[in-house]
């Protein structure tokens, strides 16, 4: 079967059948795909090493071999972080599949294409939603002056909702004809389904990205001491000071803020959680 050069698929008519014939990849395309697959492998390996380290540390903790002792999940954000890592692992696996296309020098519809498309939708949508949830919970915790606690009904509901929502898009999409197709270098939601692209992924990526900027920016100035805020008093305490106060974590947050727009966001949120311990007042929320 003849194939269509990838360079010819950037300006195609509406309703074009991307599954009619395979997409030919140039030498440059193959090199690029090989690089993304390599980055996916490195990302997956890094996440698995981190998860393995966390598991080993927890097992030692449970046996009393290290101090201090404590639960594996101590806050709602801990649980969401674990799910964020799993979602990032899915995204990495989706990138690793590019090895298949690079080895064939072409991308075509079929089982592999559907698998990659579903994994990408499930992983990338979940990453955006978990990042957004972590951002909102962190913001609420600091603004209300509440310590970040562990409530199963909170993180359990968020976790179930995120995975169900992303799986629903990935699963239902798989039942539609030509939903996953070459785009053109790998498989994702076909350009025939523009509304589904927005609803399944684009909207949440933008909301998560801009939401992180909007919420983390004032948090940085609160932790830095520029924004005066007393959770007990409320809006009457709101003020601004040009003088910086030595609030723990403020400087680190300035450097970590851009990371919230990338994946994973573990370092940024870990820094915020550590910093918020000194800031929030220990009261019941």
User: According to the model, what pLDDT value does residue 14 have?
Assistant: 67
- Residue range 21-279 forms a domain whose CATH class is mainly alpha
On whether the CB atoms of residues 41 and 96 are closer than 8 A, the answer is: yes
Q: What is the pLDDT along the chain (285 residues), one digit of tens a residue?
A: 578 887 777 676 666 777 888 889 999 999 999 999 999 999 999 999 999 988 888 787 777 655 555 567 788 888 998 999 999 999 999 999 999 999 999 999 999 999 999 999 999 999 999 999 988 888 888 777 776 677 888 899 999 999 999 999 999 888 888 899 998 899 999 888 889 999 998 899 889 888 888 888 888 777 777 777 666 666 666 776 777 665 554 555 445 455 555 544 433 333 334 433 333 433 445
**What's the pTM?**
0.81
Taken in order 274, 279, 283, 285, the sign of the CA dihedral is negative
């Amino acid at each position: 079967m003849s194939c269509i050069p990838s360079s010819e698929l950037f300006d195609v008519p509406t309703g074009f059948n991307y599954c009619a014939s395979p997409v030919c990849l140039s030498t440059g395309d193959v090199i690029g795909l090989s690089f993304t697959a390599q980055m996916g492998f490195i990302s997956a390996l890094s996440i698995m090493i981190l998860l393995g380290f966390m598991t080993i540390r927890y097992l030692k903790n449970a046996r009393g071999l290290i101090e201090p002792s404590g639960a594996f999940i101590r806050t709602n954000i801990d649980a969401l972080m674990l799910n964020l890592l799993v979602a990032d692992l899915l995204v990495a696996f989706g990138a690793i599949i590019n090895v298949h296309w690079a080895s064939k020098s072409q991308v075509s519809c079929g089982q592999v294409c559907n698998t990659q498309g579903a994994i990408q939708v499930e992983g990338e949508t979940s990453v955006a939603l978990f990042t957004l949830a972590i951002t909102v919970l962190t913001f609420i915790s600091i603004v209300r002056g509440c310590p970040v606690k562990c409530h199963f009904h909170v993180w359990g509901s968020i976790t179930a909702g995120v995975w169900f929502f992303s799986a629903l898009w990935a699963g239902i999409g798989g039942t539609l004809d030509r939903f996953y197709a070459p785009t053109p270098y790998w498989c994702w939601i076909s350009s025939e389904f523009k509304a589904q692209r927005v609803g399944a992924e684009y909207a949440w990526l933008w909301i998560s990205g801009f939401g992180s900027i909007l919420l983390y920016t004032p948090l940085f100035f609160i932790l830095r001491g520029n924004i005066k805020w007393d959770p007990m008093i409320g809006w009457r305490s709101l003020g601004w000071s040009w003088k910086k106060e030595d609030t723990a974590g403020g400087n680190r947050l300035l450097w970590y803020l851009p990371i919230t727009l990338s994946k994973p966001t573990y370092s940024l949120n870990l820094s915020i959680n550590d910093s918020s311990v000194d800031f929030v007042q220990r009261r019941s929320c």
